[in-house]
Homo-oligomer: A and B are copies of this chain.
């Protein structure tokens, strides 16, 4: 894959933003590979994402940033520049269920998901052997004392220099202080089509209500349970013949699909957040 820079921007909407940014890139010979734009009407806010071939520019990412700053200031931009040569580092948290973990590790070892996984953290020992077969450190954290446990998790996240924390069916509610420390950096997969069936045992809730489809939701974690910005969702059809166990089984497939898609968008800097909503430039 050819190295590229990904420039993501949000700023107040007005005429001429695209021209200014693409003019800056063109002026330095930059070759745009992919370009996406969106205006959030209610907020009068503009969002954009550009992928630029690294080898088409006469300077590196630092110099790009230095030269781009005055323009960014002029338009009051929030912006960031990512370099495809640097993998994002995902710290994965799991409990006993391994379908999402298995799916992510397969995508990682096949090269489909271009990330580093510095460690996997779990409150159970069950998945140690599987993780270690991948030569990834597996760290068990005892959850008896939740306060201490989450401090340990935060410390491990820092120690292993994680960019993003992935709750791959971790089954533990993170304390608000931790959620607030890492805004837009903690990703959860919830096993329902939110906002339906928040909280515990969503498949039982769905079964009781008699819905005809079930779903899963990948979202950024905030301090309000299952209420953060939604990155990706999907549903699957069920019928009256399906037991709760069948729902759980269908659910596993939709959970891993939705998590892997959402994570891919996040890792490729395709997700921008506006209030409690996401813009996803696919």
Residues of A within 8 A of B (CB): 15-16, 18-20, 22-23, 25-27, 29-35, 37-41, 56, 98-99, 102, 106, 110, 112, 129-130, 133, 193-197, 209-213, 215, 229-235, 239-241, 243, 249, 252-253, 257, 276-280, 282
Contact = CB atoms under 8 A, between A and B. Distances in A.
A23 B19 contact: yes
A213 B233 contact: yes
Contacts of A194: 196, 209, 211
A35 B280 CA distance: 15
B15 A29 contact: yes
Given A23-B23, A193-B196, A195-B196, 16 more contacts: A15-B30, A18-B32, A19-B19, A98-B106, A98-B110, A102-B106, A130-B133, A196-B196, A210-B229, A210-B230, A210-B277, A212-B234, A212-B280, A239-B282, A240-B277, A240-B278
Contacts of A110: 98-99
B209 A230 contact: yes
Contacts of A197: 195
Contacts of A15: 26, 29-32, 56
A-side interface mostly: mixed
A213 B195 contact: no
A37 B35 contact: yes
12 contacts: A19-B27, A35-B37, A38-B241, A40-B240, A98-B110, A99-B106, A112-B249, A112-B252, A195-B209, A212-B233, A213-B234, A240-B280
